A and B are shown apart, each in its own frame.
Chain A
Amino acid sequence: MTKYKDNQNLSLLDAIPEGIFVLDKELTVLFWNGILEDWTKISRKEIVGKHVKEFLPHLIKPLYTNSLQQVFNGGAPIFFSSHLHKNLIPSYLPNGNRRIFQTVVTAIKNSNATDKFNALFTLQDVTDPTERLREYRVIYDKAKKAEETIKVSKLEAEAANRAKSEFLANMSHEIRTPMNAILGYAQILKRKGLSSEEKQYVENILSSGDHLLTLINDILDISKIEAGRMEANFEDFDLSEMIQSLEIMFRSKFDFKSLDFVVNDLGKNPILVNGDNTKIKQVLINLLSNAAKFTDSGEVQFNVYATGNNNYQFEVVDTGKGIPEEAQQSIFDPFKQEREGVVKGGTGLGLAIAKRQVELMDGKLELISTYEKGAKFSLTLELPPALESCVAQSKSSREIKHLSHGYHVKALVTDDIKMNREVLTNILKEVGIEVITAENGQEAVNLVREFLPDIVFMDIRMPVMNGLDAMKIIKNEYSNKLVKVVAITASVLDNHRNLVIELGADDFISKPFKLDDIFNCIKNLLLVEFDYQEDISKDQTKPKISKIDSSDIQFSKTLHSDLIEAAKLHSLTQLEKLLLELEKENNGEVYATHIKSFMSNYDMEGLLKFLGETQVK
């Protein structure tokens, strides 16, 4: 104890910015430094020489006395953490908060007896960092809770979005399936010998059905856009042809309303560009339809400008009522229709879809309108030149009458819904295609094995075995050339369509069926030809020579030269004999039929040309 009376040591221990005190084995306070006087308001004079319990009563709890025993025996230092020993030394800050300490107790030799040890307590004030940590924890907790809330909301939103997409796909299927029967039968009916009145009724069914389909597609389109599932599909096309087709499409509409329709196009020469043909056309149809709907007198202008750097500007200008300024802001918002729009009908989605479609193509759609003086919609798009030198042939607008003479196609129609089966069967039978039907995938697989059809139309959603599984089996068992499989899908979602192609379908057609799509699909996959309505008269005088890629044919050398010889001699009898031989060759029947069509037309020059292009084994 005398040691602590040393003035120099005292001032040294008082100067250290930590609380220091010493206990002997009997728990008597031997020393109490200046900082502790300040922190605890217990003076050194008061406490030194007293038993610790008089001032710090909990230090005599077994928790502490047991540990201290180790120190009094000269053992290892003890560490008391601030969090677990909050009340070790009561001390308060001027603001009333408890001071927080971290304490180390070390054994120091008793100066009087070297084998005895005292306990030196060193208290470090950690109030400030601890308070800061506490504040940090509160902030952290809040942030974590907020993050969790966001995470939960995000998961909920994703689930809702998935449910929406699922609903979308189902609704698309559910609505389009009955529409398929309505529009399919109407198309078949139209081909029958109807009176003009009946024809008009059928036309009405078709146009109303088409309109209903447009409305459904609009709603599906906007849902697809909102779900981020609409994609731009770029392809080469002739811009000039598109403008002309729009002119033809709308001319009669404007004429009907006695409106002038002024088209300032870029000339009639082909302008081959690369862009999303379907979406551009859809946007322009939308703008022109609106002009037709909202203009009662005056004119509608359709202007197309090439503004340089592959940029094109399309303007639809009308002399209608125009759009009130307050409505101009929201005209591109979904389901927002200004009063006039409500009166005239529609979903109020057209412009919202158009705007998003244009954005998807990195273009700009703007409205300039003065109320009472008409509206001008301006569409600006970059359309780089076509990638390929030639653009795919435009679809024939002629009506298909029958499979060309000499072609035979056997088709298998697979659909669990009877009405769908019947519609497609009738469509195909009408043009001379032989049809067998199946109600599910399993039945389709069995029929393919039995009859080996040229083409299988396969619905996807079916009981027993779905279309995808059946398709896989068929594709596994038969080569691509032998059996073509066309998936029938009512889904409008691009990824569903891509999936069926990825899984091995050669093509897909959508419900409701479009006759052109079906026939084009057959034509492209089986390389067959059709006779068209307008071709019939020609056929009577000069049978149509169907196109066959003659480079695919390989005759034996003798047969080839004999055929040329006979053709040169115009010897039909000799040719007929040679054709019997040809029919025995691989694929010979098809080519024999082809040659017969030259013969029946007495076109020996054409036959010689055809034979000249064929290869010899």
Chain B
Amino acid sequence: MILTPDQEDAIKEFINIGAGHAAGALSELTESHVKLSIPAIKVVKLADLEKEDDSFTKEISSSVRINFKGFTDGTAALVFPPASALKLVSLVSDEEFGTPDMDSVQAGILTEIGNIILNHILGAIGNIFQQHLEYNVANYVEGEIIKLIEPDDSTPDLVIMIIDTQFNLKDLEITGDVVIFFKLGSLTKFVEAVENVLS
């Protein structure tokens, strides 16, 4: 275990504030009430994750990715099973696209949703560190989750934060994950920052 339960709770609190802001932005966009909840957060090393969950390397997903840099570097992604992604896009746009695969129009919508959520959650993490992060523009990626990691970063010590994300939109529930990969060396800084918050 990387974080103590107290540390995890503290992070969860911060991220829920970010999720709340993201839900507000999504409600504005869709002109209907969107609820975004974060039922669980897990921080693990890549080596441990691969042992317990092979969906990372095997399952195909639809994701929106943002790279960030600053005092810590990494990649954040909003990850969905393809069918859930299509459903979310339909609900947000209030349109049935009918086609079985994500096309560029739908990918654009998902990118916008992902951009909003990731910005707010990364913003919340920035607040834990009390430091500013720089981000690039969000982009849509389809494939195995493991491919979201830059090849150079794919070491067993890579720290991954998995944030369960539950959307409630127009009376429907859609579940996805926000996955954040922190580059090497950021773990100690991360734990220190969390401890600062707690103290």
Interface centre among A74, A81, A136 (most CB of B within 10 A): A81
**Contact for A70 among B106, B118, B119, CB less than 8 A:** B119
**Contact for B108 among A77, A102, A140, CB less than 8 A:** A102
In the bound complex, do residue B119 and residue A106 qualify as a contact, i.e. CB atoms below 8 Å apart?
Answer: no
In the bound complex, do residue A79 and residue B28 qualify as a contact, i.e. CB atoms below 8 Å apart?
Answer: no
- List, in ascending order, chain B residues with CB within 8 A of A66's CB: 25, 28
Give A133 to B98 CA distance when docked, in angstroms: 12
- Interface set, chain A 47-105, CB cutoff 8 A to B: 62-63, 66-67, 70, 74-84, 102, 104
Known: A76-B66, A77-B136, A129-B104. A62 touches B28 (CB 8 A): yes
Which residue of B is nearest A79, CB measured?
B115
In the bound complex, do residue B108 and residue A83 qualify as a contact, i.e. CB atoms below 8 Å apart?
Answer: yes
Known: A84-B29, A84-B93, A144-B98. A79 touches B112 (CB 8 A): yes
- List, in ascending order, chain A residues with CB within 8 A of B103's CB: 133, 136
Give A7 to B28 CA distance when docked, in angstroms: 40
**Contact for A81 among B98, B112, B122, CB less than 8 A:** B112
- List, in ascending order, chain A residues with CB within 8 A of B136's CB: 77
- List, in ascending order, chain B residues with CB within 8 A of A80's CB: 112
Return B145 CB to nearest CB of chain A, in Å: 21
Return B62 CB to nearest CB of chain A, in Å: 14
**Contact for B135 among A77, A102, A144, CB less than 8 A:** A77
Whether A473 sits at the interface, judged by CB under 8 Å, is no
Whether B1 sits at the interface, judged by CB under 8 Å, is no
Which residue of A is nearest B105, CB measured?
A83
Binary CB contact string for chain B from 122 to 147 against chain A (1 if under 8 A, 0 otherwise):
11000000001001111000000000
- List, in ascending order, chain A residues with CB within 8 A of B29's CB: 63, 84
In the bound complex, do residue B132 and residue A74 qualify as a contact, i.e. CB atoms below 8 Å apart?
Answer: yes
Whether A137 sits at the interface, judged by CB under 8 Å, is yes
- Interface set, chain A 535-566, CB cutoff 8 A to B: none
Give A77 to B118 CA distance when docked, in angstroms: 11
Known: A82-B108, A133-B105, A137-B98. A76 touches B135 (CB 8 A): yes
In the bound complex, do residue B25 and residue A67 qualify as a contact, i.e. CB atoms below 8 Å apart?
Answer: yes
Known: A62-B28, A137-B98, A137-B99. A78 touches B105 (CB 8 A): no
In the bound complex, do residue B122 and residue A83 qualify as a contact, i.e. CB atoms below 8 Å apart?
Answer: no
Give A284 to B22 CA distance when docked, in angstroms: 84
Give A298 to B149 CA distance when docked, in angstroms: 94
In the bound complex, do residue B137 and residue A77 qualify as a contact, i.e. CB atoms below 8 Å apart?
Answer: yes
Binary CB contact string for chain A from 139 to 152 against chain B (1 if under 8 A, 0 otherwise):
01100100000000
- Interface set, chain A 280-294, CB cutoff 8 A to B: none
- List, in ascending order, chain A residues with CB within 8 A of B119's CB: 70, 75-76, 78
Whether A153 sits at the interface, judged by CB under 8 Å, is no
Give A113 to B113 CA distance when docked, in angstroms: 32
Whether A387 sits at the interface, judged by CB under 8 Å, is no
Whether A160 sits at the interface, judged by CB under 8 Å, is no
Binary CB contact string for chain B from 72 to 105 against chain A (1 if under 8 A, 0 otherwise):
0000000000000000000011010111000111
Whether A130 sits at the interface, judged by CB under 8 Å, is yes
Question: What interface size band does chain A fall in?
Answer: 20 to 34
Give A504 to B152 CA distance when docked, in angstroms: 69
- Interface set, chain B 14-30, CB cutoff 8 A to A: 25, 28-29
Return A88 CB to nearest CB of chain B, in Å: 12
Whether A126 sits at the interface, judged by CB under 8 Å, is yes
Which residue of A is nearest B64, CB measured?
A79
In the bound complex, do residue B28 and residue A82 qualify as a contact, i.e. CB atoms below 8 Å apart?
Answer: no
Whether B44 sits at the interface, judged by CB under 8 Å, is no
Known: A76-B119, A137-B97. A84 touches B109 (CB 8 A): yes
- List, in ascending order, chain B residues with CB within 8 A of A79's CB: 108, 111-112, 115, 137-138
Which residue of B is nearest A104, CB measured?
B137
Give A186 to B86 CA distance when docked, in angstroms: 74
In the bound complex, do residue A126 and residue B137 qualify as a contact, i.e. CB atoms below 8 Å apart?
Answer: no
Which residue of B is nearest A130, CB measured?
B105
Which residue of A is nearest B98, CB measured?
A141
Return B102 CB to nearest CB of chain A, in Å: 11
Give A302 to B111 CA distance when docked, in angstroms: 82
- List, in ascending order, chain A residues with CB within 8 A of B28's CB: 62-63, 66
- List, in ascending order, chain B residues with CB within 8 A of A70's CB: 119
Return A137 CB to nearest CB of chain B, in Å: 6
Give A240 to B105 CA distance when docked, in angstroms: 77
- List, in ascending order, chain A residues with CB within 8 A of B122's CB: 76
In the bound complex, do residue B104 and residue A133 qualify as a contact, i.e. CB atoms below 8 Å apart?
Answer: yes
- Interface set, chain B 23-80, CB cutoff 8 A to A: 25, 28-29, 66
Give A583 to B93 CA distance when docked, in angstroms: 95
- List, in ascending order, chain B residues with CB within 8 A of A137's CB: 97-99
Known: A78-B115, A133-B103, A140-B99. A83 touches B109 (CB 8 A): yes
Give A141 to B95 CA distance when docked, in angstroms: 14
- List, in ascending order, chain B residues with CB within 8 A of A83's CB: 93, 95, 105-106, 108-109
Which residue of A is nearest B97, CB measured?
A137
- List, in ascending order, chain A residues with CB within 8 A of B66's CB: 76
Which residue of B is nearest A100, CB measured?
B105
Which residue of B is nearest A82, CB measured?
B108
- List, in ascending order, chain B residues with CB within 8 A of A62's CB: 28
Which residue of B is nearest A144, CB measured?
B98
- List, in ascending order, chain B residues with CB within 8 A of A130's CB: 104-105
Return B43 CB to nearest CB of chain A, in Å: 22
- List, in ascending order, chain B residues with CB within 8 A of A129's CB: 104
Known: A62-B28, A133-B103. A84 touches B137 (CB 8 A): no
Return A429 CB to nearest CB of chain B, in Å: 71
- Interface set, chain A 122-141, CB cutoff 8 A to B: 126, 129-130, 133, 136-137, 140-141
- List, in ascending order, chain A residues with CB within 8 A of B25's CB: 66-67
In the bound complex, do residue B108 and residue A81 qualify as a contact, i.e. CB atoms below 8 Å apart?
Answer: yes
In the bound complex, do residue A84 and residue B123 qualify as a contact, i.e. CB atoms below 8 Å apart?
Answer: no
In the bound complex, do residue B135 and residue A81 qualify as a contact, i.e. CB atoms below 8 Å apart?
Answer: no
Give A141 to B99 CA distance when docked, in angstroms: 8
Which residue of B is nearest A62, CB measured?
B28
Which residue of B is nearest A129, CB measured?
B104
- List, in ascending order, chain B residues with CB within 8 A of A140's CB: 98-99
Return A140 CB to nearest CB of chain B, in Å: 5
Which residue of B is nearest A122, CB measured?
B137
Give A70 to B108 CA distance when docked, in angstroms: 20
Which residue of B is nearest A77, CB measured?
B137
Give A429 to B92 CA distance when docked, in angstroms: 84
In the bound complex, do residue A76 and residue B123 qualify as a contact, i.e. CB atoms below 8 Å apart?
Answer: yes
Give A66 to B29 CA distance when docked, in angstroms: 11
Ranked nearest first, the 3 interchain pairs of A and B with the lowest CB-CB distance are A81-B108, A76-B135, A76-B119
19 contacts between A and B (CB under 8 A): A62-B28, A63-B29, A67-B25, A75-B123, A76-B66, A77-B115, A77-B137, A78-B115, A79-B108, A79-B138, A81-B105, A81-B108, A81-B111, A82-B105, A83-B105, A84-B29, A104-B137, A126-B108, A136-B99
- For the complex with contacts A75-B123, A81-B109, A136-B99, 13 further pairs of A-B residues with Cβ separation under 8 Å are A70-B119, A76-B66, A76-B122, A77-B137, A78-B115, A79-B111, A79-B138, A81-B111, A83-B93, A126-B104, A129-B104, A137-B97, A140-B99
